[in-house]
Structure 1
């Protein structure tokens, strides 16, 4: 029964679109990682350079993890989907925490940054453990937690706005809005192509956050 449910979830055409979109995302993520490391190495303040490089590296790596596992989940045969479905959903937590890490170790360095860093990674680890144990039984709970985790940053909006260039802050905000808007399509399970549209929103949000970090220096 579980296999049939997985098999019926998306048509072949949808699965091809799902795999291709995030396959492209995986390739772009590798390029983003390289560009961000170079940017941090060249332009980060000397006393904060290590934080920028580590933060940007974790962000880039989390992008690669998310897009790689998503691509594999949609591209692999039915029997592999059960395992990679868990990896796919858990990687969302990794990307959220990885994105926060980039800002916490750079623009938000200090007490505020470390506080948010600890909270977001604690939530991410909890989410990963729960989904790894209970799988799709906590799918709805997982989706519900993605959004508040993503917008936890509002508690540090003022120091972020003070530390980031205006363009960087705008890209950060737009990225968050795109991710949130994409969740609407993610929830439309019975609407054909909705998951592919969700993928496009995720890619757009990732691109905005890449530019936010790139232009933070």
Structure 2
């Protein structure tokens, strides 16, 4: 649930009715991600790859687990208010978590460390804004997602040189899927079956496809580092 309508409903104490399939995509995704992330961490060598895989895996489970809990288990006004803030905050965590193995494994230290510091600083700022000032600075809060997500643009020439074709394609494809999903969420269109599978489910579909692309990317990086 997102947008001004949902916010006003929560403020007035009304619990908005959700489409029937709300949250199912992320529930299935986190169920599949648990063994996949565990396998990725176990398979990772050397230490830098394992650390990167562990941080990335934790961020994946945090995002999809929180989203599934928010959309499937939060049934009261208070629980939805709390979980909504956490849900939005975890997007920043996933962005930074995804960048971590890329910076550790794909970029030289001269690039990787500065990019990693910038991304995690931005993620912390985003989490603070989402949790402590949810209804303030809306433009900044929303703009931070794509800005943080596309921080890699500054290092794109280096990444293009150091990544394989498959790695580069999956990196760009994942970022594109996340970005293309944003207008769906903001415009609330397309909204094919509002009572069962609405615009928010379309948005979740984009995030799942993007997540799969980036999981393949990280997997390829781990394999290359082993």
**What range describes the TM-score normalised by the shorter chain of this pair?**
0.7 to 0.9
Q: Across the two proteins, how many residue pairs are aligned to each other?
A: 206
Residue of structure 2 equivalent to 1:77: 75
Corresponding residue to 2:15 among 7, 23, 27: 7
For the 8 Å contact 2:15–2:75, the answer to whether it is kept is: no
- Flag structure 2 segments of 5+ consecutive residues without an equivalent: 1-7
Distance change in 2, residues 1:170/1:111 (3 Å): same
User: Could you say what the CA RMSD is over the residues aligned between the two structures, in angstroms?
Assistant: 1.8
Higher percent of residues as helix = 1
Q: Does 1:198 align with 2:203?
A: yes
Q: 1:1-217 to 2 correspondence within 5 Å?
A: 2-3=9-10, 4=12, 7-8=15-16, 11-12=17-18, 14=19, 16-41=20-45, 49-75=46-72, 76-79=74-77, 80-189=79-188, 191=191, 192=194, 193-216=198-221, 217=224
SS at match of 2:173: helix
User: 2: CA distance between counterparts of 1:38 and 1:164?
Assistant: 23
For the 8 Å contact 1:69–1:84, the answer to whether it is kept is: yes
When normalised by structure 2's length, the TM-score is: 0.84
User: 1: CA distance between counterparts of 2:105 and 2:40?
Assistant: 12
SS at match of 1:136: coil
1:141-199, Cα deviation, whole Å (9 max, x unpaired): 32221111111101111221222221111111100000000111111247441111100
- Flag structure 1 segments of 5+ consecutive residues without an equivalent: 42-48
Distance change in 2, residues 1:6/1:131 (3 Å): farther
Q: How many Å apart are 1:139 and its aligned residue?
A: 4.3
When normalised by structure 1's length, the TM-score is: 0.88
User: 2: CA distance between counterparts of 1:96 and 1:6?
Assistant: 32
